[in-house]
């Protein structure tokens, strides 16, 4: 049992598991922000262009709710809530777009870092002394070849 707990502790403390946990928490937070954006900003905006329609209210009623003589609901309404599904699709598209922009920005930053690392200094050319020595040696060769 001790060995099992030690293995579990080692597994949990690896970088990949902690990175995954952070990613899940961030995804949850981003999801909440995007859901709020969709429900509170986008859907009223879209509803304005569709004549004030709220997609979340759209449904197909399969059977109406049944009430007794006192007005208490006996059998709840059975309906297909396709409007909520439309909201979910719009939410998915927005979340997908936000994640796409995050990944694209991350890739761009990563590429910039790589380019900065790859940038090398131009190879150093010969020094002034080396050039003068080459000229001197060339003059010697030309003078000795003519005599």
Which pLDDT score, from 0 to 100, does residue 16 have? Answer: 75
Which pLDDT score, from 0 to 100, does residue 146 have? Answer: 57
In the chain (147 residues long), the average pLDDT of successive 10-residue segments reads: 82 75 84 81 79 79 88 87 84 81 87 73 76 89 73
SS (H, E, C) the chain: CHHHHHHHHHHHCCHHHHHHHHHHHHHHHHHHHHHHHHHHHHHHHHHHHCCCCCHHHCCEEEECCEECCCCCEEECCEEECHHHHHHHHHHHHHHHHHHHHHHHHHHHHHHHHHHHHHCCCCCCCCCHHHHHHHHHHHHHHHHHHHC
Which pLDDT score, from 0 to 100, does residue 12 have? Answer: 74
Domain architecture of the chain: domains with CATH = 2-122 (1.10.1200.120)
């Amino acid at each position: 049992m001790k060995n099992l707990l030690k293995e579990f502790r080692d597994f949990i403390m690896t970088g990949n598991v902690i990175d995954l946990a952070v990613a899940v928490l961030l995804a949850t937070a981003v999801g909440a922000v995007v859901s709020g954006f969709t429900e509170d900003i986008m859907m009223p905006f879209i509803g304005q262009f569709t004549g004030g329609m709220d997609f979340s209210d759209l449904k197909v009623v399969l059977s109406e709710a049944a009430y007794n003589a006192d007005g208490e609901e006996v059998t709840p309404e059975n309906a297909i809530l396709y409007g909520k599904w439309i909201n979910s699709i719009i939410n998915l598209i927005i979340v997908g777009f936000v994640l796409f922009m995050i990944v694209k920005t991350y890739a761009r930053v990563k590429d910039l870092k790589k380019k900065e690392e790859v940038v090398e200094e131009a190879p150093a050319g010969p020094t002034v002394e080396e050039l003068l020595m080459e000229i001197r040696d060339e003059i010697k060769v030309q003078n000795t070849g003519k005599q």
